[in-house]
Structure 1
Amino acid sequence: MEIDLTAPGLWERNEFGEVFAWLRANEPVYRHEERDGPGFWVLSRYADVVHVYGDDELFSSRFGMRLDSNAEAVAAVEDRMLIVTDPPVHTRIRQLVGAGLGRAAMPRIEASVSRVVSDVVGEAVERGELDFLDAAKKIPNYVVCDLMGMPREHWEWVGDTMTESFDADGDDKVAADGELFLLFTEMLMDRRENPGDDFISLIAQARRTDRGGEERQLTDEEIIVNCHGVLAGANETTRFVMSSGLLELAREPGHVDWLRAAGTRGITTTAEEMLRWATPAVHVLRTVTRDTEIGGVPIAAGDRVTLWNPSANFDETVFTDPDRFLPDRTPNKHLAFGIGQHFCIGARLGRMELAAFLREVLTRVDRIELTGEPRYNSSNFTWGLIELPVRLVPLG
């Protein structure tokens, strides 16, 4: 089989499932060549992916966590940005950034999620016929903007600019990131003088312990790059899960009937199956720190190893009938949020948004009808639907 996981068309046509099935069965530790690079290892089986996630000392994040990482950009945020650090630095930063999404922030988070999801789904049902991505992209973006205390008039611009940051290349990407960094800088300056109970205020007041044992506040740069990371993680993934889940509910109306009968437990299991089914965080990169082997295959120090979450989440040795969307699937130990030290810091928020979304759909929508062909993006990093034409027929 010809394998090129860097080919945009493979993702745009939603054809990668067959490739991963072949890899799991034939070459679960696969050496992937690159046209303009040194190549990388592809891990497709659940057990191997979990193994690498679990060993931060041997498989490092410090040199970048995606295939197209810019070495200079990564070096500039090393030991500062959560996703490109290893323990113990990672652990310290995670505790501080996580405080903005932790127990103390829960009342604010729950109120924000409930309000935003109700407003967005209600507006979508009133419209009736729409591209559902127009609604789905608002929910995680609005929630995070609200939690960060951003003025309401900035919310849509922030969402559009973050999407530009992900989708654009070269100067356009740099410009989008620069605009977001400038906004966070202005907000941080204000929170230093006028702290509140929002996410930025909480982490602006937090203190970290450096390698030498000295305690200090997070620097402006540390706060800004991690605010950008939190916004990116929420904005570009949850919408893909929501839209993918809605597509399956439209394709099989019996799922909606089952959900209405199953109640709260059904919402929980359906949300988890939506996460497994969509798996928007496609690959994660690690750099090997010393010679080792995976599955009996020698891997050299300095080699790049990629973990492919969508393949692990469809591994036949772990999931029964993995190619079926089963809203009552239990157990469901998917890796949509990763596992180990780098388990997604926004997992609780994402699950809360999905549960609220499903409750609103069940409360307001009688049936979901497809009115056109779904379309997918061409990214092998964050993947999902970019167009989902539907008609939402209201209850009553």
Structure 2
Amino acid sequence: MALWNPYTTGYFNNPYEHLAECRTTEPMQIGIHKEWLLFNYKDVREVLRSPAFGVSKLSEYFAQKEPVILEKAACPFLAKGTKTWIMYLDGQDHVRIRTLADAAIRQFNFTPAIERAVAACFEKNKDAAELDVVDIATQIPMYIVEELMGVSGMCSYEQVKRFSHLLAVSQDLFVTKTTYREVNSEFEWAFSFFGELYRKAGANAEPHLLTFLQTVNKEEGFRLSDDEMISLITVIFMAALETTKDTMSVILYEVLKDPSLAVYIEQANEIEINILAEEFLRFASPLQYTVRVAHEDVEINGIRFPKGTRLFLCLASANRDAVVFDNPDTIVPNRKYNPHLSFGSGMHSCLGARVARNEIRSWLKPVTKHLLNYRLAENEPPNWQRTIFMRGLKSLKIERK
């Protein structure tokens, strides 16, 4: 019997062997903090789609913990900063915030922004003998986000990178007080920076997301406060940058490892690229876990989950379940049946799924074309992030051929 432990040797480099053991020997088990973990595709999908389960309340958790975490610090931004993070809302709150965000995001044309971002990134790096794939995977979505929000040149690359990463880390397991305090400081910066931009958005003639959000909020009667809007802006910012960076870096690593993938991408038509994008999403599983809480007593596979039980759903394991996917640990470029759960399922499926798919389909060919001039650096193994919920590379060095 394999008991889940993300600190087993080699887990951060390759969690899939350990997850396969859990899925095979003990697909439903209790973790060290009395939470349940589910590994099979069928079980994970059932919970995601069941109205008997809701999301965990991150903002409420921070509100309770802030006096301990921050030791009565003067700037308790953790709860305020996560108040309208869509993935931690249920019921009408979730519907209302999701509807507002979706209405604003749909007014922005991402395709030309993605094309400009790829061109700008490789123009900047055209003479580089060595590159870090993670820098490429950060710069491209950063260009897009800057254009999306109209903040180009207003803050440094390092500031944005740190802000996005710490917000993502704040959702992970076993986060230290020191890290939470750093997150709190980043939220303090965000409320000042984005707050000023948001309040000026109405006077901005450019069609940026902040303008769209402000217009929709006022004209459609959502009536979110400025603080609630800034909280929403931060989660859109983080998702657009951090999740894209993690997904892109893992995909590019796989392409650099396998020259046949690069050839396939170069020759693929639009439909084939769309199919391959879904396969990359299944294989990469940037969000490895998601959490659900039982709203009532529920029974699954003969196991009773009392109301209030927390379940960690392993999306990464579900996406490698051989019962559903043939050759699950292999990238199959033309995989026809691919009901992966990388964007979740049910009412809390990822709001940005459409945008994420569009991004991958748009950058896959041009970025791969540029990287054909590079190879993985010798004696420089990939350096993986030591995070549990999100999987991505910390650095991946490449050198010009």
Which of these residues, 309, 324, 349, is aligned with residue 303 of structure 1?
309
Answer yes or no: is the 8 Å Cα contact 1:133–1:387 preserved in 2: yes
Equivalent residue for 2:194? Answer: 184
Change (3 A) 1:77 1:252: closer
Query: Which letter maps to 2:335?
Result: R
In 1, Cα distance between equivalents of 2:223 and 2:206: 17
Structure 1 residue 4, shift from structure 2 partner: 4.2
1:149 equivalent in structure 2: 150
Give the CA deviation at 1:377.
Answer: 0.8
Q: Which amino acid aligns with 2:195?
A: T
Deviations 1:261-285 (A, max 9, x none): 2222332222222211111111111
| Per-residue deviation, 1:364 | 3.4
How far apart, in 1, do the equivalents of 2:64 and 2:13 lie? 30
Question: In the superposition, relative to structure 1, how do residues 71 and 120 fare at CA in structure 2: closer, same or farther (>3 Å)?
Answer: farther
TM superposition score normalised by structure 2: 0.86
What residue in structure 1 maps to residue 183 of structure 2?
173
In the TM superposition, 1:211-250 aligns within 5 A as 215-250=221-256
Rounded Cα–Cα distance in structure 1 between residues aligned with 2:167 and 2:282: 25
Cα distance per residue 1:37-68 (max 9 Å; x no partner): xx20101111111111112x4211152399x9
Q: Which residue of 1 aligns with 2:40?
A: 45
2:267 matched to 1:276? no
Determine the C-alpha separation between the residues in 2 that align with 1:369 and 1:331: 32
Go from structure 1 to structure 2 and tell me whether the alpha carbon gap of 1:304 and 1:7 turns closer, same or farther (over 3 Å shift): same
Question: Relative to structure 2, which stretch is displaced further, 91-100 or 258-267?
Answer: 258-267
Deviation of the 1:390 alpha carbon: 1.1
* Change in 2 beyond 3 A, CA 1:285/1:362: closer
Inter-CA distance 124–265: structure 2 relative to 1 (3 Å threshold): farther
Matched to 1:232, the amino acid is M
Relative to structure 1, the CA distance from residue 65 to residue 300 in structure 2 (aligned partners, 3 Å threshold; closer, same or farther) is farther
Gapped runs of 5+ residues in structure 1?
Answer: none
One-letter amino acid matched to 1:111: P
1:194 deviates by 3.9
Any conservation in 1 of the 2:114–2:363 contact (CA below 8 Å)?
Answer: no
Partner of 1:121: 122
Pick which of 301-310 and 322-331 moved more.
322-331
Structure 2 CA distance for aligned equivalents of residues 45 and 208 of structure 1: 44
Pairwise CA distance, 1:231: 1.1
Gap change, CA 1:165 and 1:9, over 3 Å in 2: farther
Instruction: Kindly provide the amino acid, as one letter, of the partner of residue 99 in structure 2.
Output: Q
> Secondary structure of the equivalent of 1:285?
strand
Q: Secondary structure at the match of 2:91?
A: coil
Partner of 1:13: 13
- Give the residue type in structure 2 aligned to 1:21: A
Of the structure 1 ranges 248-257 and 222-231, higher mean CA displacement relative to structure 2 is found in 248-257
Number of residue pairs the alignment of both structures matches: 379
**Is 1:203 matched with 2:213?**
yes
Q: Among 87, 108, 113, which residue is 1:83 paired with? A: 87
Report what 2:390 is aligned to. Answer: 382
Which residue number corresponds to residue 93 of structure 1? 97
State the alpha-carbon separation in 2 of the partners of residues 244 and 78 from structure 1.
27
Larger deviation: 316-325 or 347-356?
347-356
Note if 1:60 corresponds to 2:54.
yes
Deviation at 1:287, TM superposition (A): 1.2
Q: TM-score, normalised by structure 1?
A: 0.87
SS at structure 2 position matched to 1:127 = coil
Indicate the RMSD between aligned Cα atoms, in angstroms.
Answer: 2.7
5+ residue gaps, structure 2, are 67-77, 170-177
Amino acid at match of 1:353: E
How far does residue 245 in structure 1 lie from its aligned partner after superposition? 1.4
**Contact preservation (8 Å) 2:250, 2:392:** yes
Equivalents in 1 of 2:218, 2:91: separation in Å? 14
Question: Is this contact kept in 2: 1:158–1:180, CA < 8 A?
Answer: no
CA contact (8 A) 1:313 1:334 kept: yes
Q: How high is the sequence identity, in percent, across the aligned residues?
A: 27
User: How far off is 1:160 after superposition?
Assistant: 2.8
Q: Which residue of 1 aligns with 2:173?
A: none
